[in-house]
Amino acid sequence: MAMNAGGLVATLSLICTALAILGSAYLAFAAILLRQLSGRVSPPLHSARGVTILKPLCGAEPDLEANLASFCVQGYPGPVQIVFGVSEAADPAVAIVRRLITRFPDIDIELVVGTRMYGGNRKISNLVNMAPRSRHDVIVLSDSDINVDRAYLRQVVAALDEPGVGLVTCLYRGTSDSGLWSHLAAMAINQHFLPNVLVALRLGLAKPCFGSTIALLRETLDRIGGFEPFANQLADDYAIGKAVRGLGLHAAVPPMIVDHVCSEQTWSGLVRHEVRWTRTIRLIEPAGHAGSIVTHPLPFALAAAALNGLSAIGLGIIALVLVCRVLAPVQIWRMSGSGGGSLWLTPFRDLLSFVIFLASFLPGRVTWRGRRFTVRSDGTLTHN
């Protein structure tokens, strides 16, 4: 029995060590891809077609005005219309939009208050209500927590003009205010989400479409039935991308990164958001999500060290994992001056991400914008 127990410990130690080393190699590879991304050049803008930016809003989250204002100062040579939408006139975001209209009198800004609901996804209902007010051929959707630089529209439209492209989406990094919970949320993006996407793109395992940016032609939107078919989808961005690819077109990811401004104010809000996020990924990409266990090397490094009695080799593997984990956010910091802070939280962030990864396989409801939903196996929502 002692030999059997010893053999089991040795086997588990070997498996954990292998997963920790493999995960470290994956993290180093992701950092290399991020460095290469910063050196790529976007295609030139050949035509400056009119653009309508659709911004569905719900509440006045921190930094909302700054995020929305970044879309009002674009260095784009063609006509730009910005349509903001809310589902009720009492929404606090309305006052912010009114201020933007005053601040930018030369920008074509419109506010739509649409109370009609088309399904469980309130964001999509908002877009359905907003869409009839769009006047230009290029439609750009972007979430309210996204902040962009002045070259954003130029790069997006240039990518959309490339042959065979039906949709453009953008990678994003996390930025935060001074709060602990928003720092942890930004770290989840910079240390987990963004590296995962870069590796999956390089290996041909990802077909991304992110709410950070969805740009497509009006004709393409009409061909997929407008926004109504996605009114009950939890992962509406993924579903839109899938529908566009179903037309024989592909989604382009230009060499740019926009900012996702994290504004989590509480521990419970952080956990609810990340559980919803990981469960969504599990539903739309179950095999890939299960395989992403390799992207959590720290728990396996700790387990291997414990099984080996905290040997020098085990402690060295833990150090290797921690160094490799911070390579990507350090690269982000070099690119933008953000994303490299709070690295001392890395061990806690890694362990929290692993717990949330495990929790994503448990049944349960998700909370979105203060409402609780049951998610069916096909990714559709049922309001509770």
**pLDDT tens, position by position, 30-62:** 999 988 887 787 788 888 899 999 999 998 888
The verdict on 129 and 139 lying in the same domain is yes
Query: What is the band of 29 on the pLDDT scale with cuts at 50, 70, 90?
Result: very high
* Among candidate residues 263, 294, 328, the one where a domain is terminated: 263
- 3 falls within a domain: no
* Mean model confidence pLDDT for the chain: 88
**Do residues 247 and 285 share a domain?**
no
pLDDT at 339: 45
pLDDT at 1: 44
Which residue, 263, 289, 310, sits at the end of a domain? 263
Nearest Cα to Cα of residue 155 among 134, 140, 144, 174? 140
DSSP 318-375: HHHHHHHHTHHHHHHHHHHS-S-S-GGGHHHHHHHHHHHHHHTTS---EEETTEEEEE
Same structural domain for residues 104 and 54?
Answer: yes
The encoded tokens of residue 315 equal 């402690």
In this prediction, residue 367 carries a pLDDT of 60
For residues 250 and 342, membership in a common domain is answered with no
| pLDDT (tens digit per residue) in 81-113 | 999 999 999 999 999 999 999 999 999 999 999
Whether 305 maps to a domain, the answer reads yes
Residues 50, 47: Cα–Cα separation, whole Å: 9
Q: How confident is the model at residue 150 (pLDDT cuts 50, 70, 90)?
A: very high
pLDDT tier at 287 (50, 70, 90 boundaries)? confident
**Residue 251 sits in the same domain as residue 323:** no
Q: Which of 228, 263, 298 is the last residue of a domain?
A: 263
* Domain co-membership, 29 together with 43: no
Residues in a beta bridge with 108? 81
Say whether pLDDT at 215 is over 50: yes
366 — pLDDT class (breaks 50, 70, 90): low
**Structural domain includes residue 272:** no
pLDDT tens-place string over residues 249-279: 999 999 999 999 998 889 998 998 898 888 8
What is the average pLDDT across 178-198? 90
Write the CA distances from 63 to 141, 202, 338, integer angstroms: 19, 33, 16
- Expressed as residue numbers, the domain containing 352 is 18-37+279-379
Write the CATH number for 190: 3.90.550.10
Is 8 inside a domain boundary?
A: no
User: Do residues 29 and 62 both lie within one domain?
Assistant: no
Gap between the Cα atoms of 235 and 309, Å rounded: 44
Q: pLDDT above 90 covers what percent of the chain?
A: 61
Give the span between the Cα atoms of 352 and 90, in whole angstroms. 37
Q: Per-residue pLDDT tens for 2-24?
A: 457 677 888 888 999 999 999 99
CA distance 331 to 333: 5
Tell me what the mean pLDDT of segment 230-235 comes to: 88
Give the number of domains in the chain: 2
pTM, entire model: 0.88
| Token pair for 312 | 């020098």
Q: How far apart are CA 31 and CA 331, in angstroms?
A: 7
Shared domain for 31 and 59, answered yes or no, is no
Q: How far apart, in whole angstroms, are the C-alpha atoms of residue 285 and residue 126?
A: 26
Same domain? 54 vs 28: no
- Whether 254 and 316 map to the same domain: the answer is no
31 and 51 within one domain = no
pLDDT at 376: 59
